[in-house]
Structure 1
Amino acid sequence: MSLPSLVALPDTLQHLTGSNEQSLRSAVAAVDGLSLDAWTAERWAAFARVAAASEFVLEQSLRDPAMLLSLAESGELERRFAPGELCAQLAAAAQTATTEDELARNLRRQRTRHQVRIIWRDLTRQADLVETCRDLSGMADAAIDQAYQWLYPRHCQQFGTPIGNRSGQPQQMVVLGMGKLGAVELNLSSDIDLIFAFPEGGETEGVKRSLDNQEFFNRLGQRLIKALDPITVDGFVFRVDMRLRPYGSAGALTLSFNALEQYYQDQGRDWERYAMIKARVVAGDQVAGSQLLEMLRPFVYRRYLDFSAIEALRTMKQLIQQEVRRKGMSGNIKLGAGGIREVEFIAQAFQLIHGGRDLSLQQRPLLKVLATLEGQGYLPAPVVEELREGYMFLRYTEHAIQAIADRQTQMLPDGDLDRARIAFMLGFPDWAAFHDRLMHWRARIDWHFRQVIADPDEDEGEGEVVVGGEWLPLWEEAQDEEAACRQLEDAGFRDAPRAIKLLAGLRSSPQLRAMQRLGRERLDAFIPRLLAQAVEHDDPDLVLERVLPLVEAVARRSAYLVLLTENPGALRRLLTLCAASPWIAEQIARFPLLLDELLNESRLFSPPLAPELAAELRERLTRIPEDDLEQQMEALRHFKLAHSLRVAASEIAGSLPLMKVSDYLTWLAEAILDQVLALAWRQTVARHGRPQRSDGSPCDPGFIIVGYGKVGGIELGHGSDLDLVFIHDGDPQAETDGAKPIDSAQFFTRLGQRIIHLLTTQTASGQLYDVDMRLRPSGASGLLVSSVGAFERYQQNEAWTWEHQALVRARVLVGCPQVGAAFEGVRARVLGKQRDLAGLRSEVSEMRAKMRDNLGTKSTAAGTAANAYDSGVPFDIKQDAGGIVDIEFMVQYAALAWSHSHPALLRYTDNIRILEGLEDAGLVPASDAVLLREVYKAFRSAAHRQALQKQAGVIDAGQFVNERQQVRRIWSELGLS
């Protein structure tokens, strides 16, 4: 929301202005050397507004008018602080102190001064919510760190310098800011939640009587708290809350990094994960602190989808609601229904569930997390907009409540005067108008909260209803087999005994026997839901058969079961896809992280276009440290798995036709290859330096990946491998410019090997692609990477006709545009040569005959025998006569035969557009060209369907009879045999 409106002081507050002005004039007059003569009407108007709303500002101004006048004269009330300016002021104040009492006094006076400035700018609408929170958090950071920096050397003088046992190096404390401080979201009267840590155990040195490092830091922590927390005649700096540390108030004040890591690993509770999301190093050793946060990251963010986080947040919310009811705190805008905490819970639920895999969610400020939830498609834009608007309204309200008297409260006031102040500060004419708007936002937030956090078994107005509860006795074997069979048959199962056997097999599987109690409870909650949804399908037997292997696969990581229990829509989509395709069922069972893709229906059935695909992958990889190869490889593989599933789901749903399916799968491969090349290039250059071109310029990268076959022809299918060729234009005589120089040929060979390694290595998420390099010059016996010149010489002088046929479908996938243009020139020259047509027909026909003999159906002589069209015998869609390869060979023959006089035929590499080119040039009758295109698409659609059913590309020969006969007719008419 925008800043609350500036409205005129209401009558309720107007009467205060005269007395407030007179009180300030009296206070100033009582101090020698102070004068209000320079105050303008605008300054007095601003003072009237602020003093009427904030008793705290008025009280501090009367107590120390010199402070207020210095703020006014310096212009600090009217301008935003530059980065580091606030910290510099606190540092100057701390450095003048000679005793701890003086340090405490100076910091308290600085806090009062800046608190007045921040409230003034907030109430005069010169600062928005983000600036106010940033200044308050910056003041806390500076106060903590300056107090620490002042205390640490003096503590070392008294007790010695703490030295680490392992490193032998001096140790510094790390201060973690939690909660709103960690997120840079402090409110006007926040306490600060801190955790103290130190890197290593050891002892102090330099004094007669050494201290254990923990004792040293415990005492230092106590002195730091004393500098900040106690209320004195000068007020306080910040109330310090240490209860978020391990074991809470009963735990040690400070712990070593190892002790912290061990605690969170062994005993960390769900609410501590929630708290640790916002942890930030606010003081002490920043470098060591970063290492500590990295150590604790696996505790907060799990590598898998973690829907158990919702259970934990739901429990926390229930405890808070009980406390709110017990203490009569429904007017609490933080903890009550529709309050600030509910917005935080929504954001943190997504962070805990998805943040281990989606690094964009690993951030602290709530408004930025909301923006990410919208940008990444976790929540619709209208929902995020309402949450953002409602949250900001509540935070402005919170600041208004606290601005009155600098009290740490989020309770709406009862008194008329304070109510008038809050309505005025929020830009409303009266309390009723303000309260009406407040209740609107609380209702909207609470509604959205229930959509995310609410228990799926809760049905408002009907009490608790267990979804699928009628199936619980069957799963728990609380009824005899006859009754179980009858229930299954009545619900639509055709083979009830088999269904019971499948469920019994799951119950007795080793994975289930090894489950812990919590996991078994989750499974018992899930199976009835599974059965309840399975019977809604036409073939529940098939659904159960395909989904139970997935259940068994994820049983030990039961958070996946929670995901499906919490998201009935995701479970419905899972069953639909598994019923339609065993290939999808197997993919999800092998890689359960794909369940994440089922959460967002619109995203699942709307795969992105090529530029969006490339941008999304680029963005994902930029969030991973450059030296973390393992995580980069996992990110690439997950990206491929996720988008392959989305394409398959869209194909099954009918929202993507065949040609678009191939387009998307090809774009996906290109996006991945682009990033794989970039990764391999960085790694190889880091080791050997850059290679050079013959003109002495550095290669950047001077390398291309050429795609042949299906990827070259933009015809990738599910599970297709990649036919690749690598080409470079480096100078073979020149060496790289790195610390370990090698010649260009070696460099590019290692680059190629690195690319293949990145693509084919098996990780927990499988491999990216099978790669076939046999189409390179001289095949498997040739060099892995060719120079442009060597590639052309081979193609012109040594290549077989079938290699030129393959070149028809070759195109540059990724790499250097300059080398790509050179390759296109070579391709055009090679394919555009004038050929002897009789010899060409003979060579193409001979190669096709060999393929039919080796790869076609034996029982029908590869579709040429008399029984080739009989029902009941097999037809290989790809290899048999009249099939896909016949069409491809005709297209390749035509391109080689006629591109000399019709160079436009070389423009495209896919069969459909080459056929269109042949039609346009009048080289093939229009009716034949149309027929070949339609038959080709029909064959490929059939092959795709077979792949999704995990079946070979072989169908009954009674299908496509006329189409195959027409393909063979055209084959003969072209003179091929």
Structure 2
Amino acid sequence: MSLNRKLITYGFTDLEKSRRFLEAPELEGLDEDRLFEGLAVAANPDLALQSLVRLLAVDRGAVSAAFSDSDRRGPLFTLLGATESLAEFLMRHPEHLDVVRADAGIPALVDPAALREQLLREVDADPTQDNPVAGRHGVEAHRALRVLYRRLVTDLAVRDLCHSSPEDYLPVVARELADLAAAALEASLAVARADLGAVYPVETVAQVKLAVIAMGKCGARELNYISDVDVVYVVEGDDLDETMLTRIGTGLATAMARGVYSPGPEPALWEVDANLRPEGKDGQLVRTLESHVSYYERWAKTWEFQALLKARAVAGDPGLGERYEGAIAPFVWTSSQHEGFVDAVRAMRRRVTENIPPTEQNRQLKLGRGGLRDVEFTVQLLQLVHGRLDDSIRARDTVSAIAALSAAGYVGRSDARDLDDAYRYLRVLEHRIQLVQMRRTHLMPDDDASLRALARSSEGTVVMVRPSGQHLQEKWQRTRRLVGRLHERIFYRPLLNNAATLKPEDVQLTDEAAQARLAALGYQDPRGAMQHIGALTKGLRRRALLQRQLLPILLAWFADGVDPDAGLLGFRRLSESLGDSPWYLGMLRDSNAAAERLSAVLSSSRFITDLLEVSPESTRWLGSDDALVPESFDAQWQEIHSMMSRHPEPAEAIRLIRLMRRRELLRIAIADSAGLLTQTEVGRALSDTDRAAILGALHVAEKQLFADEEQLTHVVVVAMGRQGGREITYGSDADVIYVHRPLPDADAAAAQRQAEWIVNRLAALLTQQTGSPVLAERPLEIDAALRPEGKQGVIVRSLDSYREYYRRWSVVWEAQALLRARPLAGDDDLAADFLALIQDVRYPEELRPADLREIRRIKARVEAERLPRGADPSRHLKLGRGALSDVEWLVQLLQLQHAHADPALRVQSTLSALDAIAAAGLLPEEDVRVLRAGWSLATRIRAAIVIWSGRASDLLPSSRRDLEAVARWCGYGPGRGADLEEDYLRLTRRSRAIFERHFYGQ
């Protein structure tokens, strides 16, 4: 194999440069096979080879010893191929090559106290003292501190890079880095005390207590390899005046920071950033504890409380640091009650994203969408909102906080796993990128060589096949999308705004106080409500934990409805039906819409509540607008056809058809309640569902009959009335007529008997009772009263019989009824022939004066005889003055008069006909507008009555409570039932005047 091919095989990219290094005299005497064996494990073999040659030039003996040891060779090349910066540290200090050990791949837990002791002893300070003073001074002390710090970091990096699963080891690495930083600050502070003792009296310096409070990642013990260490300083000094205390405290803080960051013989470690202190850069560098408390009580902004979530004393006087933590904690855990807190946190996250330079947006691991900040902000917001009342989630570091939030039920188990996995993976990528140059960066590389090296260094030693740069990019993008979705769903939960404003008494009341609060919210039976709450929240299971989170908010939302007691009862029944279904309570907690929608329907709709109780699994639709889109007729028929093929038995087939109809009724009602459908769309969706059920029942009936008899006829079901116009509402009957046509050579009488059996069986299948009290479970009622001769006529006629009847005996009301005729189910050819037959009947060339008088007479008779006894004509939605009947009879009269000449009027829908009437100029536009508004409102009120009460009624409610419920469903706000009543009465008065003017010619 040629050298170039060998280099390519081993992952080299700069072949010419690498060949020159392979020819370097420093490599003479090294076994080539062992050399390439080592380079094979390096993430970046080009870098590993260069660093090896440079190290050999510095200390051949130490490097050769590591190279020759088969157990140390792998860790050596792993380190050299992942970090140029730490390799340069070893070049400056080859005596520390012993950190490349044979046991590098064995995880180790390092005691923070041991790190503190090591670094303090390196500057000749006594680690047993609370405020140790270094025995070494100035530059020499800083150099010794930095060298030891880098040795310890290199030791950690070797363990990290050689670990079989970097993501599992990440929390250990991040904690050790934070503990190392804390120890370095302690040692640098000890040097600062010694240095300041040369400026001020030693006794005065000793009187000043300084506590170093780490914020951010260092405070949370989740630090990066290279990162700013955010700090806040607290000072205290017995018997010292404020000026001297501030001067010395500032001197100590400044000198401590210089010790780790100022230029020197050994490069700086990282920057100490005190900009998170009160008033930021403009504030005093050091403050007393009382001054800190005063600031947070009076002036602190939202983001400052979020920053305090990670605050931890890491260096300096331990007693003062502990008192600071205790004094600050209450500010953290009550911050979510500040007005607009949740929105402010969300706005801050958006600002961070918006300020990313365009060139970095697609490379940001930390700040971009789906990056580390999305995870951190999500977790911190949940902690700040819920941690006020639940101290089990008050963890500082992100990994522990995710686990605690999941255990307490604030994040679903699968979401928590995804968040944790994504966070660890992104942090590992961040660490590996920073290790190369020990440079503070959060940008993904954009060149193939760097991407390939990053992929190899981040996957762990357990991976047998080295991943490519493309593999890394794909996995990173998947992770970004996952984090982005979780962030959007959890960070923007509507419940967070409500939970943030809850007071302890809202969730931790005595029984008496709780009942009083429930009564104040509007619950009529507070004692019963308390029993429901107790049943829902008792126990320690995850279900009870989630209920305890949700109920304080849901109780208030139920109270926003018309019947909060019914809402709570419905919620209990639904929750008990769903049991421990993992998705149910998690959906209510996480969904932007589900909890509010459920609260609204349970406290405002008996119809939907009853349906949810018998179909609780349908609750999952509440969280998805897509799931609430009504199924089309074609989709429903395809499902029915499939069901009948799998379940040929008539009883089982019709049971499944009726279940499907009930399911679609519920879907439509929930979508309607959520404002996702217009009134017209509701009518069409309900009509399609009834049509699918009728078609399915027809097929079941025919299959049952023709299994025993030869088929003698075809049957068609024709929709009439509002079903024909596709403008029905919940609980509407299906007005139909039946047509059949015997097959050629079939006996007419036998064919008639078959047709009668089929239509009677169809009606029985759809109307047979099941014993359920639920209105929507009530079978679909089939009404064939609009057939020729009405209820006295034969139930089904042949096409020829219809033709003869309409030629000889048809009366005008039958022509009027046919205006809304629309085939529903049955033979397509027969349906087309029937429509052709009735075309001239329902659209006559002219309406005779006698027919006009008859229509007017029948309308007057209907008003006089069919209005229920004692009913107020102004409040009857169907037959009352200016109500549905008035509008429909006027529209149908105009269709009978003009549809023959104007095909645009040949429509079955009342609203479509009104549009055509306006376009043709048959009525003034203002009259059409009033008629449309009155008809639509009456239709909406009829639907609302069913939804609210579970029962159909044609009377505008007079009860204030019922009127309020109906008004809300009709789109009126709370407390506007009287407005609905006024609007309805006003519109129907105007509609009646228009009706009388044009129908009776007055």
TM-score band by shorter chain is 0.3 to 0.5
TM-score (normalizing by structure 2): 0.45
Structure of higher CA gyration radius: 2
